A and B are shown apart, each in its own frame.
Chain A
Amino acid sequence: MSGNKMIRKIESVSMRLVTAFILSFVFLTGTINIVRSDELNVRLGEDFTTLDPAFWQSGADLTMINVLFPKLIEFKSGSDWEYELQAAESIEQVDELTIKFTLKPGLMWTDGYGEVTTEDVKYSYERYIDPELASPIIGDWLPLKEVEIVDKYSGIIHLKEPFAPIWWSTLPYSSGAIVSKKATEEAGGKFTTDPGATAGAYKIESWTPREKTVLVPHDGWNGPEVGFDKITIYPIQEPKSAEIAFEAGEIDITEISIGSVPNYRESLPAGGVLDVRPTADYTFLGINIANEKLSDVRVRQAIKMAIDIDAILQGAYFGVPEQASGLVAPGLVGYTGIMPGARDVQGAKALLDDAGVSNLSLELDVLNTAEFITAAQIIQANLGEIGINLQINQLDSGAFWNVAADRKEDLQLTLNNYTSPPDPSWSTQWFLRDQKGIWNWVWLDSEDFDNLHFAALKETDMNKRSDMYVDMQKVMDESGGFLFIMHPPSVIIYRDTINPGLYPNGGLKLTDFKAN
């Protein structure tokens, strides 16, 4: 080809391309917003990476595990944390150490792996306590002795010691998921993105990593009829992009940022439904007791007194959530309802004077997301008023979650959000003494706290258990290491053509999604 022809070619190709762009745009603006009613488009914050219930990490993993694998019991969708039978026909706690269950017959694995049997249940639960498997969430099944097989459909779970959370954060949560013994053993005892066989309401038809996952109904499912012929899941990290995509009709349901709530409350896009619901998660300012500059409890109390929580709730969270009373969210075992005193700048100054501290410079480590950075800047301004000079270290998620391991006792203030299922034991375990520097970033060091935590795990009387968690929150408050800000609500927007199945904390229970 001569240079001349080549150039002509380039010119004509580029002109054709431009025409194609214009044409495609003209065509497609006419064809958007056509969403078939038997198809559902869902946005998750990221792509799944691990479908193995013993190794899951992200919320996307959890959502996928919940729809792909059956559990004996599963949380109901709705506003209260209650469980319902799923794979089990019956389940019953015989005594503190024994739970009897019977499976519904006829639940099949995909890909010809046969029926779901007691054998699979035994394998799924006992593999956690196998040290060879090295599951990081071994704690969910630590008190398990064995699963006894009675027959093909019934079995008995034997525990070594009483274990109250089994009905809250084990059986109906990720660790209650049943995997196929045969398929998992073929995969070498664990798997990541290819489970071999699943038996949930839907199965994966195709997966294009980082682009989309397509789910279709699983014909071996023996539960209630499913709502959609096809569910497409799009991983979109940026909540703002997801909102725009929702408004453009590209997705039917998405979690959105709290900052968008006031706007949506004022004017919802046509056919949109806004759903704001509380979660058990907790956002708090951690003040490291072990740090030299913060070792005096008066300094810690002064910091707590100086911070204007209301301004944070208004500025960073648009007044959507209420202030938290402590670690435990309203409606859960151990909720105290006792709010800390109001902001007191003079009192805070007096405490600092009393402690003989002046010209204090501190660092606040914070995740670099919009809400946290906004909250951090309010804290910075608040502490400035009592003469504390605060430097904000905004960190990406990789650095932030390792900051305690890296800096140890040098860590000073952290603004943190921990997620939590509806049982306080999951949350109190992070502040035990052996968690110092791992998840206990406040270096809380209390024997009482540890004892109460382990006693509460075994306590099956709900009232006594509740009192124990109230006492533990008292210990946290007196340490001066925690300033609880709020329990971040989960905010979801969806199209009124669908009836979403949502867990009480706003998590997607795809199994229960129905078309309206």
Chain B
Amino acid sequence: MIKYTIQRILLAVLIIVCAVATMFIMIHAVPGDPVNVMLGPRATPEIKEALRARLHLDQPITTQLFYFFRGLLMGDFGYDLRSNRPVLDIILEQFPHTLILVTSALIVSTIGIPVGRYAAIHRNGTFDRIVGTISVSIIAMPAIVVGLYMLLFFSVELRWFPVIGAGDKNDWLDYLWHLTLPVITISIAWIGYISRIVRASMIEVLSQNHVRMARAFGLPESKVINRYALRIAVLPSITMLGVSVALILSSTVIVEIIFSRPGIGSLLYESVLSRNYPLVMGAVLFSTIFIVAGTTIADLVNAAIDPRLRKEKD
């Protein structure tokens, strides 16, 4: 297991390096001069040239990439082209908003667990059929439509929820209030998904021998379900969520834009549009680390449960 863990972590680092390097090369090939971003329209060509040299923008892309990674190793993520503040500071300001959004969405998604459990126990009953249909319908529901509909109905028409920003950090009620619609937007698909997975694996587990044995020994049904079946059935959905961090982060970009929330997603969107390269790279680096960490942890958890997976890799 230790050997596998080390291998897996090394691979994760390699993936991050590849992903970041690819993105770096791609955005530096983008038309649009960052020097114009920094200096605005009225700068003279000489001023622009000097700045270009200072940022190594006149060097070949490989050299720029080298400077970038060297900077990262020394903890230097670069500076925002416009405000000249350290990229790391800006990312660390924005990241908590995204992190809270994502974790809240994950927590709310766990509503799917009791729903799936109930559906599995009352298999093929009315509840199961209704929930089954609904959960399949919402599995792939695009965040963009859900978000816009939420905004239209609850903010614009009914005025129940605020439309802008993340609220006051020192006032948790206000913060939660601002969080509600974005969290629902993201988690709605996952509630459906988790309830499906939990239901399917519950049904599988309930038909297994040791569960049947437990029943035969006269254990109360609720104990059988909660102690044996649910425990096993929940694991696939938890690891599933680890793998799905990429998808969740993707929807946070849209959600942060629709609800004018601060966060990595909206930061990334704005900085891509303004060709603010250092900020784009910072946001890419952070999201990539976040995603790769998610998949790696999910893999390790899976491997810990199911030793066969380890062997395949070794």
Contact = CB atoms under 8 A, between A and B. Distances in A.
The answer on direct contact between A and B (beta carbons under 8 Å) is yes
Nearest to B173: A24
A136 B31 contact: no
A248 B161 CA distance: 9
B204 interface: no
A211 interface: yes
Contacts of B7: none
Interface in B80-120: 80, 82-85, 90, 93-94, 104, 107-108, 110-111, 113-114
Interface string A42-61: 00000001100001110000
Contacts of A399: 31-32
30 contacts: A3-B235, A4-B226, A4-B230, A7-B226, A7-B230, A7-B231, A11-B110, A13-B107, A14-B108, A14-B110, A17-B108, A24-B173, A24-B176, A25-B180, A49-B80, A57-B40, A192-B84, A210-B93, A211-B165, A236-B165, A241-B260, A242-B164, A244-B151, A244-B163, A248-B163, A398-B32, A398-B272, A402-B31, A402-B33, A405-B36
Given A137-B42, A402-B36, A17 B104 contact: yes
B209 interface: no
A234 B110 CA distance: 34
B41 A50 contact: no
A271 to B, nearest CB: 15
For chain B, the bracket of interface size reads 35 or more
A17 B107 CA distance: 8
Interface of B: 31-33, 36-37, 39-44, 47, 50, 80, 82-85, 90, 93-94, 104, 107-108, 110-111, 113-114, 151, 155-156, 159-166, 169, 173-174, 176-177, 180, 183, 226-227, 230-231, 234-235, 257, 260, 262, 266-267, 270, 272-275
B274 A14 contact: no
B177 A25 contact: yes
The interface centre, meaning the residue of A27, A49, A139, A193 with most chain B CB atoms within 10 A of its CB, is A49
The interface centre, meaning the residue of A21, A134, A208, A210 with most chain B CB atoms within 10 A of its CB, is A210
Given A134-B47, A136-B44, A398-B32, A49 B164 contact: no
Main SS class of interface, B: helix
A455 interface: no
Interface of A: 2-4, 7-8, 10-11, 13-14, 17-18, 20-21, 24-25, 27-29, 32, 49-50, 55-57, 134, 136-139, 192-193, 208-212, 234, 236-238, 241-242, 244-245, 247-248, 250-251, 396-399, 401-402, 405-406, 438-439
A18 B42 CA distance: 53
A397 B273 contact: yes
Contact of A3 (B156, B234, B266): B234
Contact of A20 (B160, B176, B270): B176
Contacts of B80: 49
A24 B176 CA distance: 7
B114 A11 contact: yes
B94 to A, nearest CB: 7
Nearest to A22: B180
A20 B104 CA distance: 12
Contacts of A398: 32, 37, 272-275
